[in-house]
């Protein structure tokens, strides 16, 4: 079984619709996808329906924007009840902060001399999508200010560049608790990707496992080289954490992350499903 537990649709910053994502998985020989859009579970019903029609199982998830020590940490939540009020409210607060920062980013880019508008950004996002810097990047490509998303981040949108604006994130330990209270399983996404290695040390991961009940870490991810994967796997073993893997596929939005390029073992997938069914049983 090919199990890819972290992919994005156009309900956040991926480019495939949730249904297209399920069909792309079927074509690519992927049996299970975990749909983990940024701060929303809106795409899960459509992906699940399309997956059922083409033989792909969809594990509903979310990639929550959380913070630890001022640093953004992406936290995957699998199998959460989409109707859970506290988790829904926390995610809605993040999405609203993400909406509010778009005009601030546009202002900053205009001050830097770029003729970009809020409408240009909205035009790149599907209706109901969680807005992110990648949409601003796509707008910069559309107005021909840059060649691609990568250049947009390198020149304008990375932290410290003229167009960077932060947004509200859920405190990490609160995020783990919210996922658990919604019946879900909490896994740190790419713990040593984008600048989080310094904050998510082995000691911190151990304390998250012990004190916050973290369930797993995503060791197999393109942000991690072979040595990081080995070290993270050892940290997981020492703390009885599950080890997952994923492509973090974004469609055309991120090159070098094809569906199924990293995978999760069948026994870990089964363990995640077992935890969800225990936690979701009232």
Q: Which of 34, 132, 175, 184 binds ligand AMP (CB under 6 A)?
A: 132
Q: What binding mask, one character per residue, do residues 81-120 give for Fe ion by CB under 5 A, x or -?
A: ----------------------------------------
Q: Is 251 in the site for ligand AMP (CB under 6 A)?
A: no
| Cβ-contact 139, 125 below 8 angstroms | no
Q: Which of 14, 248, 254, 268 binds Fe ion (CB under 5 A)?
A: 248
| Cβ-contact 253, 226 below 8 angstroms | no
Rounded to whole angstroms, the Cα distance separating 24 from 91 reads 27
- Nearest distance from C-beta of residue 131 to Zn ion, angstroms: 11
Closer CB to ligand AMP, residue 221 or residue 250? 250
Q: Which of 43, 79, 134, 163 binds ligand AMP (CB under 6 A)?
A: 134
CB atoms < 10 A from the CB of 262, how many? 20
Q: Is 180 in the site for Fe ion (CB under 5 A)?
A: no
31 contact choice in Zn ion, Fe ion, ligand AMP, none (CB below 5 to 8 Å, kind-dependent)? none
Q: Is 13 in the site for Fe ion (CB under 5 A)?
A: no
Closer CB to ligand AMP, residue 13 or residue 120? 13
Rounded to whole angstroms, the Cα distance separating 128 from 122 reads 10
Q: Is 149 in the site for ligand AMP (CB under 6 A)?
A: yes
Determine the length of the chain: 282
Which residue stretches of the chain are H helix?
A: 18-27, 44-54, 85-111, 118-122, 133-142, 149-152, 172-181, 202-207, 226-238, 266-280
Closer CB to ligand AMP, residue 14 or residue 79? 14
Q: Tokens standing for 229? A: 């994967």
Q: Which residues bind Zn ion (CB under 5 A)?
A: 13
Quick one: which segment of 127-135, 207-215, 230-238, 265-273 binds ligand AMP (CB under 6 A)? 127-135
Of the candidates 60, 45, 7, 53, the residue with the CA atom closest to the CA atom of residue 26:
53
- Residue 214, classed as helix, strand or coil, is coil
Rounded to whole angstroms, the Cα distance separating 219 from 246 reads 9
Q: Is 257 in the site for ligand AMP (CB under 6 A)?
A: no
Beta bridge partners of 71: 68
Closer CB to ligand AMP, residue 150 or residue 230? 150
């Amino acid at each position: 079984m090919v199990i890819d537990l972290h992919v994005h649709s156009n309900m956040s910053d991926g480019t495939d619709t949730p249904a297209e994502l399920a069909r792309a998985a079927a074509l690519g020989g992927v049996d299970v996808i975990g749909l983990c859009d940024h701060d929303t579970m809106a795409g899960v019903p459509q992906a699940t329906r399309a997956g059922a029609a083409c033989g792909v199982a969809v594990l509903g998830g979310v990639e929550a924007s959380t913070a630890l020590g001022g640093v953004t940490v992406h936290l995957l939540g699998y199998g959460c009840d989409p109707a859970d009020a506290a988790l829904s409210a926390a995610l809605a607060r993040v999405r609203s902060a993400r909406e509010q920062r778009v005009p601030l980013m546009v202002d900053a880019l205009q001050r830097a001399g770029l003729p970009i508008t809020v409408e240009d950004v909205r035009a790149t996002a599907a209706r109901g999508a969680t807005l992110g810097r990648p949409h601003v990047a796509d707008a910069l490509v559309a107005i021909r200010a840059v060649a691609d998303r990568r250049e947009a981040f390198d020149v304008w949108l990375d932290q410290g560049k003229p167009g960077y604006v932060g947004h509200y994130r859920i405190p990490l330990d609160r995020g783990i608790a919210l996922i658990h209270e919604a019946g879900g399983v909490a896994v740190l996404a790419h713990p040593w990707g984008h600048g989080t290695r310094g904050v998510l040390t082995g000691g911190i991961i151990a304390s998250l496992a012990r004190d916050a009940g973290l369930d797993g870490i995503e060791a197999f991810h393109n942000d991690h080289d072979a040595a990081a994967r080995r070290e993270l796997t050892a940290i997981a073993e020492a703390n009885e954490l599950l080890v997952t893997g994923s492509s973090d596929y974004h469609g055309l939005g991120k090159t070098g992350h094809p569906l199924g390029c990293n995978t999760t073992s069948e026994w870990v997938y089964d363990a995640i499903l077992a935890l969800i069914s225990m936690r979701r049983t009232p």
